[in-house]
Structure 1
Amino acid sequence: MPLYIAYSDPAALRARCEVAGVRIAREHDAGHEPGAIVPAGRWRPATGADIKAVTAPVSPLDSTLVEIVRPLFGEGTALEDLARPMGDPDAVYLGQAQAKPGMITTTDNHENGRLLGLHLDNWDKLTYGDKHTARRRLCLNLGPGTRYIILGAIDAQHVSRAVHRMDYALRYPHTDDFRVYVADGRPLPVFRIRLAPGEGYVAPTEYLLHDGSSEGEDEPSAAAFWLGHWPRGALPSLV
């Protein structure tokens, strides 16, 4: 299943979305490791056709759905407990990450100190057939700056089938599959969604290529993250 975004107001979603293609990073390319996938060219405003393309079907799988949300704090609620009321008692708080201003993507590869670029998470270590059932990630922008979530429009199962035609069913979809897919010249649209401080997303980051970004922003931002199996609508939607 491709990128699906839950919304009730297409104009509100369109106002915070931009679209671009991707390219493969070269050696010493803006701090990214060679082979990393990065946005290519200028971001353009999302059109009505772009929004239609990411419109979820009537009965989508919640585990594959992207939601743009405003997490709510009860009085005295600790940050690590924010996801507790969302419906998954086993949800996990992952901690925080910092982003300097002007970062095209934000995630480091701890093995080499370079930026990883757009990537798949792999917390649940699922095979091709189960990849769409992974936990979704909740992110909250703690500010002080605005930041973005970048999401690929093509899912991990589609890419795995394209790259591993003979034995995709035995594979564990991986960031490297997307790198081969893009390096082979196949198009992969990406959406950039703006998140002001206090705003966030719930997204299948084990299923869709993604990363944070602070490109074009003058202030740093921090983000807090959780993983869980949550139903659609567990948090108020911004769109």
Structure 2
Amino acid sequence: MPLRVAFTDQGALRERCDFAAVRTVSGDPALEDGAVVPSGQWQPLSEAAAQGLAAPPWTPPSTLVEIVRPPAPTAGNLEDLAQQMGDEQAQYLGQALAKPDMLTTTDNYQDGRRIGLHLDNWDKLHYGEKATGRRRLALNLGPGSRYILLGTLDAQAVCRAVHPEDYEYRYPSTDDYRAHVAAGQPIRCVRIRLAPGEGYIAPTEYLLHDGSTEDQDQPSVMAFWLGHWQRGTLPSLI
């Protein structure tokens, strides 16, 4: 299933959204060769494009993107905050600091180069189960605003395209997306702005994604959890 966003106010979605094509990177010392990143030519989200992102009521929660306001944390309680967020079994993953004006934010801890848009693999799911993984809940702790970047084409569709002969035996991965884009196949990327105190719940095992602080003049810290949340568990911002 492609990118689907839960919203009731199309204007509120469009106000904080843009879209762009993606490209692969070569020869940039700050990024892995082959990394997929936004083209940078951001365009406003049209009414038709916004409607195309709308999630029908039957959309499985495990494939759904929600823009939410999590409970405000108090000092030292981030690990326990999951008890207030609808899944007491949620796994706290920690925090990540992003410097200002970064097109993408996630780096390879082994060499420090950024990996670009990618798939998570916490649940290590094969093709048939890829749409059932846990979703990631993220809370922007500030001080600056930032974006969540999301590819519109899901991991199963890309895996089928790249491995037409044996996709059902594969484990969809970031490399599949890199091969897909390098072959000239188009993928669109949506970015959604998140102010301090705002967050998202997204299927980061299933959709291409990363953070971004492009055009922002302050750093920001993001806190992350993995869990199973039903649609509407946290208050929606859109």
**Bin for the TM-score computed over the shorter chain:** over 0.9
Q: Identity rate of aligned residues, in percent?
A: 61
1:135 partnered with 2:134: yes
Question: What is the SS of the residue equivalent to 1:123?
Answer: coil
Equivalent positions of 1:1-239 (< 5 A) are 1-28=1-28, 31-73=30-72, 78-239=77-238
Distance in 2 separating the partners of 1:110 and 1:134: 24
RMSD of the TM alignment (CA)?
A: 1.3
Following TM superposition, the consecutive aligned residue runs of length 4 or more in structure 1 with deviations greater than 6 angstroms are: 74-77
Distance in 1 separating the partners of 2:110 and 2:49: 36
Distance in 2 separating the partners of 1:80 and 1:137: 14
Asked if the contact 2:5/2:55 (under 8 Å) is kept, the reply is: yes
Distance in 2 separating the partners of 1:162 and 1:94: 32
**C-alpha offsets along residues 168-214 of structure 1, whole Å, 9 cap, x if unaligned?**
00000000000000000000000000000000000000000000000
Asked if the contact 2:70/2:85 (under 8 Å) is kept, the reply is: no
Distance in 2 separating the partners of 1:157 and 1:185: 18
Where structure 1 has 5 or more consecutive residues not aligned to the other structure, the ranges are none
- Number of matched pairs: 238
Distance in 1 separating the partners of 2:159 and 2:81: 34
Question: What is the SS of the residue equivalent to 1:82?
Answer: helix
Where structure 2 has 5 or more consecutive residues not aligned to the other structure, the ranges are none
The one-letter amino acid of 2:15's match is: A
1:50 to partner: Cα distance:
1.2
If the length of structure 1 is used for normalisation, what is the TM-score? 0.97
Distance in 1 separating the partners of 2:60 and 2:161: 23
1:55 to partner: Cα distance:
0.7
